[in-house]
Amino acid sequence: MPFLWFRTWHLGVKSLLLHPLRSLLTVLGIFIGVASVVWLLAIGEGISRKAQQQIEELGATNIIIRSIKPPEESIENVGSSHSIVPYGVTRADFERLAATIPTIDRALPIREVRYRFGYLGRNIEGRLVGCTPEYADVNKLEVDRGRFLTDTDDREKWNHCALASEVAERLFPYEDPIGKAVRIERAFYLVVGVMKERTPSAGIGGSLAAQEFNDDVYIPIHTLWSRIGDIIVTRRTGSFEGEMIELSQVTLRVDKTENVLRTAALVKETLKPHHRKQDYAVVVPLELLEQARTTRLMFIVFMGLIAAISLVVGGIGIMNIMLATVTERTREIGIRRALGAKRGDIIRQFLVETIALSVMGGLTGILGGLTCRPLIAALRNLLLRAAPDVFDQLPQVIKEVTPLIVPWSVPLAFSISVTIGVIFGLYPAIRAAMMDPIEALRHE
Amino acid sequence: MSSAASVFEVTKQYVMDGETVHALRGVTLEIPDGDYVAVMGPSGSGKSTLLNLLGCLDRPTSGRLVLGDEELSDAGDDRLAEIRASRIGFVFQSYNLIPQLTVLENIEVPLYYQGRIDRPRRQRSLEMAELVGLGDRLKHRPAQLSGGQQQRVAIARSLVNDPYFILADEPTGNLDSVTTEEILQLIGDLNEQGKTIIVVTHEPEVGQRAKRIIRLRDGSICSDSRNEYSHPSPESRPLSPRP
Ligand SMILES: Nc1ncnc2c1ncn2[C@@H]1O[C@H](COP(=O)(O)OP(=O)(O)OP(=O)(O)O)[C@@H](O)[C@H]1O
Ligand SMILES: [Mg+2]
């Protein structure tokens, strides 16, 4: 009565179908366990895929230094309206970093300001970005028409600018912007190029916000420094607010990935003595990978616990049912033993039933697991509509994650279910096999 | 004449709550091929115990057991199971069919434990069903059959593996007199065709049909006699040839 015979399985399934509801309920526990195994792996994969995407976007070999406004400083400012205290990364920092750390391949100075741009009667607000020519490359901006800024633009401090797609569309709805002059502050800038549309980058939270890119105007950084300067005054509901920043951001590129973390430590050490306040932040995209790993691990541990519990409960359910079945079928066991069944045959007969039960749970569980993506999306939607405040409180990961089914989770889930069937079915099966056939035949 | 089964000085003891029950106290017996034996005796005299030993369901406490030409006193559990599957036919008082199986499937059970059910084996099962007159009930479940019909299925099942002998423990105990007559007729016919039969019974009418009556008392044989009144059935049905 070997395992692979159709008849052995046929017999097992037939006796399970004698109690369809009972079998179904037994299957349920395994279903939940197996489905959560598939889910947890898919969600874990989603988290790490997302982190990888972010890192790719920010550049795995990059170190980003952002200027941030120290909180105490702004409070002081309210009192003395005319003393504008400078903060953030300075040109001196930039020079120092580029000169002293040999593992830095390339250093990119960036200055960003919210500004108004004008052409003829049209005025729009956007982000003015002072940068060097490498900016386009680092941020994966592509030229649509004309060209991006060049080294000569920067060296000569020319009033040249490149427009992001949306700016070009809104300022020049009917004209070709190239060769026209855009007004920024009181000066005019010659448009040398228009960029293609770019999908906005996601923020990582903290100091690195999401970047829109599509309402940008790019000018050479040296032009910005000499024409606009470091102090920017913005008018805000009656009062003026001044800011003095030399650089909004410095993007450093490290020569090799393995040098990134060491270089980041060096960068922090280099900056520290020159800043009394914490008015800058160092973002290392590679560190995000570590973070993602921890989040993912947490998730896997958490869901793994749920899966393990439901699998054990499911297994106990199977065992319980099988013990009842064995008692119920004592007479049948006696008959089969009298007619020539060996102990092994009886073990196999009952084991086949538990395996059939758990495989059924396994297969439906895999199906349930595969629906994880639409189901999570639906759940998220439901929560967003039913309880938006609760939704807001959820961690970023849960709000954003898109589960990705890991292909090997399917065979894994399947083998888990078979293993559960064998482990929890073995005891009842052995109990059945060890019964004395004469006693079993006398059983009513 | 070779013997289907023989036992020498067989004893069987059960220990219950520290007290030893002597179910068999040294039984020696030889059953030649083609014999028709009725085992009789008062309740508790050890009839079923003897039958279980002959049927390899149990092992004697001491003594020897030989079936065909194989010494089985020290055979292992799996070997005994193999012998049961291939060489012994059981008929029980309460039929003991498996309720979720059909008539045909029930008949095939011993073959199932001998190996795969192939075409000749399936053919044999069909012939046995035919032989006991249930060729048209193959797909029925035991619950859909009368007691007599169920016992016929059990007899077909006991024959299907071409056993050394058929062991029947009170085969007519649950049947009315008419059906009893039918079943006894069938068993008698089988013996006519050469099958060795061992029947345990309380009922003198059943014992009357056997060729030999062994009486047990308190675990020992108290008489073993040829039965002069044995009258084989006048008409005999054809049996399929042994494969
Ligand atoms: N498993 C057992 N444990 C203990 N004692 C047993 C066991 N099986 C049988 N006996 C005892 O052995 C003796 C013989 O029993 P057995 O079943 O062979 O009697 P029997 O002749 O078949 O009786 P009956 O006609 O009532 O069926 C009895 O005294 C019985 O109590
Ligand atoms: Mg008895």
pLDDT greater than 90 at residue A425? yes
Tell me if chain A has a CB within 8 Å of the CB of B75: no
| CA–CA distances in Å: residue A284 to residues A136, A427, B233 | 20, 55, 102
Which atom of ligand 1 is least distant from the CA of A436?
1
Q: What is the DSSP code string of B134-188?
A: -TT-TT--GGGS-HHHHHHHHHHHHHTT--SEEEEESTTTTS-HHHHHHHHHHHH
Q: pLDDT at residue B222 above 70? A: yes
Q: For residue B159, report the distance from its CA to the centre of ligand 1, in Å.
A: 27
Q: Is residue A283 part of a domain?
A: no
Mean pLDDT for A58-70 is 85
A14 or B201, which is more confident? B201
Is A284 among the domain residues? no
- Among residues A215, A248, A278, the one where a domain terminates is A278
Predicted local confidence at residue B73, as pLDDT:
84
Parallel, antiparallel, or unpaired: how do β-strands A249-254 and A104-119 relate?
antiparallel
A255 in a structural domain: yes
Nearest to B85 among A15, A340, A344 (CB): A340
* Residue A203: pLDDT over 70: no
The answer for residues whose C-beta is within 8 angstroms of residue A334's C-beta and 6 or more apart is A435, A437, A438, A439, A440, A441, A442, A443, B96
Range in A390-394, B29-33, B101-105 with the lowest mean pLDDT = A390-394
CA distance A68 to A230: 15
- As a whole number, the mean pLDDT across chain B is 89
The confidence score (pLDDT) of residue B238 equals: 46
| Domain assignment present for A110 | yes
Distance from CA of A17 to the nearest CA of B (A): 10
Q: What's the average model confidence in pLDDT over B17-26?
A: 92
Protein residue with its CA nearest to atom 17 in ligand 1: B48
- My answer on whether A16 and A154 are in the same domain is no
* Spatial CA neighbour of A39 closest among A370, A309, A358, A310: A370
Q: What are the pLDDT digits (tens) for A142-189?
A: 999 999 999 999 999 999 999 999 999 999 998 899 999 999 888 899
Number of domains in chain A: 2
- Give residue B241's pLDDT band: very low, low, confident or very high (50, 70, 90): very low
- Answer for the pair A288, A54: CB distance below 8 angstroms, yes or no: yes
pLDDT at residue number A319: 94
Q: What is the Å distance from ligand 2's center to A441 Cα?
A: 12
Whether A118 maps to a domain, the answer reads yes
More confident call, A59 vs A130: A130
The Cα A263–Cα A253 span in angstroms is 10
Amino acid at A211: Q
Residue A189 and residue A48 share a domain: no
> Quick one: how far is CA A133 from the chain centroid?
31
Q: Considering only A46-55, A216-225, B124-133, B181-190, which range has the smallest mean pLDDT? A: A46-55
Same domain flag for A149 and A241: yes
Q: In the predicted model, is pLDDT for residue A370 greater than 50? A: yes
Residues A125 and A268 in one domain: yes
Reported for A96-100, long-range contacts at CB under 8 A and 24+ positions apart, including other chains, are A96/A270, A96/A274, A97/A250, A97/A252, A97/A267, A97/A270, A97/A271, A100/A270
Query: Which residues of chain A make contact with B55, given a CB cutoff of 8 A?
Result: 338
Residue A300 phi, psi (nearest 5): -65, -40
Give the position of tokens 């197996």.
A34
The answer to whether A340 contacts B52, with C-beta atoms less than 8 Å apart, is no
Distance between CA atoms of residues A73 and A66, nearest Å:
17
Find the length of chain A.
444
The verdict on B80 touching A (C-beta cutoff 8 Å) is no
CB contact under 8 A, A7 and B117: yes
Q: Is residue A60 part of a domain?
A: no
Q: Which of A165-174, A198-207, B67-76, B186-195 has the lowest mean pLDDT?
A: A198-207
Q: A173: domain range?
A: 69-278
The residues, any chain, with a CB within 8 Å of residue B19's CB and separated by 6 or more, are none
Question: Is A122 within 8 Å of A180 (Cβ atoms)?
Answer: no
- Say if CB B87 and CB B108 are below 8 A apart: no
Give yes or no: residues A195 and A301 share one domain.
Answer: no
Strands B196-200 and B165-169: parallel
Model confidence at A258, pLDDT cuts 50, 70, 90, reads: confident
Give yes or no for residue B43 CB within 6 A of ligand 1: yes
Whether the CB of B113 sits within 6 Å of ligand 1: no
Which of B52, B116, B117 is nearest residue A438 as measured by Cβ atoms?
A: B52
Q: Indicate the fold that domain B35-59+78-236 takes in CATH.
A: Rossmann fold (3.40.50)
Residue B15, Cβ neighbours under 10 Å: how many? 9
pLDDT at B188 over 90: yes
Ligand that comes closest to the CA of residue B92: 2
Among the ranges given (B103-117, B133-147, B217-231), the one the predictor scored with the smallest mean pLDDT: B217-231
For residue A16, tell me if it sits in a domain: yes
Supply B45's token pair. Answer: 């005299």
Is B196 a pocket residue for ligand 1 (Cβ < 6 Å)? no
The answer on pLDDT for A76 being more than 70 is no
Bridge partners of B13, per DSSP, are B22
For ligand 1, whether the C-beta of B44 sits within 6 Å is yes
CB < 8 Å from A in window 102-131 of B: 109-110, 112-114, 116-117
Amino acid occupying residue A6: F
Is A331 part of the contact surface with chain B (CB cutoff 8 Å)?
yes
Residue A165, φ and ψ in degrees, nearest 5: -55, -45
Instruction: Name the band, by pLDDT with cuts 50, 70 and 90, for residue A297.
Output: confident
DSSP B240: P
pLDDT digits (tens, 9 = 90+) for B100-120: 899 999 999 999 898 877 888
B24 lines ligand 1 (CB under 6 A): no
Residues A29 and A153 in one domain: no
- ipTM given for this complex: 0.91
| Residues A354 and A222 reside in one and the same domain | no
- Asked whether the CA dihedral B47, B48, B50, B51 is positive or negative, the reply is positive
Q: Average pLDDT for residues A112-132, to the nearest whole number?
A: 90
Same-domain check for residues A147 and A222: yes
User: Do B160 and B111 touch, CB atoms closer than 8 A?
Assistant: yes
Note whether B163 contacts A: Cβ–Cβ < 8 A: no
- A125 pLDDT more than 50: yes
One domain for residues A201 and A339: no
pLDDT band at B243 (very low <50, low <70, confident <90, very high): very low
Q: Residues A319-327: what's their mean pLDDT?
A: 93
**Residues A47, A180: one domain?**
no
A246 and A295, same domain (yes or no): no
Q: Which of A372, A364, A354 minimizes the C-alpha distance to A414?
A: A364
**Residue reference for tokens 């009144």:** B229
A119 and A238 co-located in one domain: yes
Q: What are phi and psi of A222, to 5 degrees?
A: -70, -35
How far from A238 is each of A61, A77, A190, A203, A234, CA to CA, in Å? 44, 16, 33, 31, 10
A371 touches A31 (CB < 8 A): no
Biggest CA–CA distance in chain A, Å, is 107
Give the predicted TM-score (pTM) of the model.
Answer: 0.73
What CA–CA distance (Å, rounded) separates A275 from A78? 22
C-alpha of residue B219 to centroid of ligand 1, in Å: 10
Which residues 6+ apart lie within 8 Å of B96 measured at CB?
Answer: A331, A334, A335, A338, A441, B90, B154
The CA A9 to ligand 2 mean position distance, Å, reads: 36
Q: For B5-11, what is the mean pLDDT?
A: 94
What does B51-84 look like in DSSP terms, one character per residue? Answer: HHHHTTSS--SEEEEEETTEE-TT--HHHHHHHH
Separation in Å, CA A99 to CA A266, A268, B119, B149: 13, 15, 90, 103
Domain ranges of chain B: 35-59+78-236
Q: What is the pLDDT of residue B34?
A: 93
* E strands in A101-207: 104-119, 122-131, 143-146, 160-163, 181-184, 187-195
Number of residues in chain B: 243
Model confidence at A388: pLDDT above 90: no
Domain-ending residue, one of A249, A278, A307: A278
Q: How far apart are CA A411 and CA A34, in angstroms?
A: 11
**Which of A255, A278, A301 delimits the end of a domain?**
A278
Any idea which residue has 């920017």 for tokens? A232
Average predicted confidence (pLDDT) for chain A: 86
With respect to residue A63, please indicate whether it lies within any of the assigned structural domains.
Answer: no
Phi, psi of B35 (to 5 degrees): -75, 160
Q: Side-chain half-sphere of B140: how many Cα atoms within 13 Å?
A: 13
Q: Which residue type does A9 have?
A: W
By the 10 Å C-beta count (0-12 exposed, 13-18 middle, 19+ buried), A380 is classed as middle
Burial class (CB in 10 A: 0-12, 13-18, 19+), A402: middle
Compute the nearest-CA separation of B238 from chain A (Å): 26
Residues in chain B with CB shorter than 8 Å from the CB of A444 are none
* Residue A272 structure tokens: 């520290």
